[in-house]
Amino acid sequence: MLARTCLVLALALALPAVAEEAKKAHTPTAKELLAKSTAAEWRTPDPQNLVYMDLPQGQVVIELAQDWSPEHAANIRTLIREHYFDGSQVIRVQDNFVTQWGDPDGDDKKKAKSLGSAKETLTPEFTRKLGGKAIPFTKLPDGDVYAPEVGFSEGFPVARDAKAGEAWIAHCYGTVGVARDVGAETGNGSSLYAIIGQAPRNLDRNLAVAGKVIKGMEFLAAYPRGGEPMGFYDKPEQRVTIKSVRLAADVPEAQRTPIQVLRTDSKTFAAVIEAKRNRKDDFYTRPAGKIDLCNISVPVRDPSKPVAP
């Protein structure tokens, strides 16, 4: 009974491998919709914006938000190309908040690893000015507690304030942000964090978003929480060491991780959202009829396989 229970429970988020239950469903599941998607509805991220972080447990793939924080993306590329992150560590895991990695001695000027030719400070890129520019935006229909409008822009969950003339990437599960000191310009990408719990939207517009984890969140979210305040590890040996961080563009094509992301301006993505808003089947007798920005995960697939894994 439990297996079936879980099977049904899992339908809530329209996850794969529910073919049997899906037949019963009155609304199509994400899996069924994705199976009918066209090749043109999927995009292959620019290898210049694709980061491979190899952890002992597996690989994390991050897509950099080039159009939202170009200076940060450039500095992170420099740090990666000079192998700054190789041997760096997961220094902090705070439950229902963030997993943060970087140089454990970063706060000790004497012991801190050199940033090489990367910049020490950057222009804050906390929001993106609209300024008449037509930024791709697929608006969600159910509103948001924090912003006037929310939706998706080229794969990223974004919030928009037309009056203020700005947009920004929301701190949803999997969003990768740039840790910084009190000064707005002190974030340089040498220490990054990934959101591993309920979206802390109060971080929005106060920190630069570097990008988003599109593969491997299951590793970043499952590390033991640190025993010190704010999730720092008590003992150095508790820190997980990052084997290497590479830019896909610097990896021979044959060795790159095959990955495609569903276009957030595609018909199939719109259908997936609608299916999640109004899932109605034998189990879900009361569909929510609504969906929050951070409850939508953008489908990712291995192009060699027909449907997202």
**Residue number, 80 or 159, with CB nearest to a copy of itself:** 159
Cα separation, 112 vs 132, whole angstroms = 42
Contact flag: residue 288 with a copy of itself (CB under 8 A): yes
Contacting a copy of itself (CB under 8 A), which of 44, 111, 112, 236? 112
* Residue 124 and residue 257 in contact, taking contact as beta carbons nearer than 8 Å: no
Q: Which residue has the tokens 């019963």?
A: 24
* SS3 call for 210: strand
**Smallest distance, a copy of itself to C-beta of residue 10, A:** 4
**What are φ and ψ of residue 135, in 5° steps?**
-85, 130
The correct pick among 71, 142, 161, 265 for binding a copy of itself (CB under 8 A) is 142
Choose the stretch contacting a copy of itself; rule: CB under 8 A; options: 42-50, 98-106, 247-255, 299-307: 98-106
Task: Candidates 33-41, 131-139, 199-207, 238-246: pick the segment binding a copy of itself (CB under 8 A).
Answer: 199-207
Q: Which of residues 148-177 bind a copy of itself (CB under 8 A)?
A: 172-174
Cβ of residue 141: shortest distance to a copy of itself, in angstroms? 10
Nearest to 78 by CA among 109, 120, 108: 120
Binders of a copy of itself in range 71-90 (CB under 8 A): none
* Binders of a copy of itself in range 24-63 (CB under 8 A): 24
Ramachandran region, residue 292 (left: φ > 0; alpha: ψ -120 to 50; beta: rest) = beta
Q: Among 1-9, 43-51, 234-242, 262-270, which window interacts with a copy of itself (CB under 8 A)?
A: 1-9
Cβ contacts of 2 within 8 Å, gap of 6 or more? none
- Helical segments of 110-222, H only: 217-220
CB of 46 to a copy of itself, least distance (A): 26
Beta bridge partners of 129: 166
Q: Which of 222, 267, 270, 303 binds a copy of itself (CB under 8 A)?
A: 222
Whether 151 and 168 have beta carbons less than 8 Å apart is answered as no
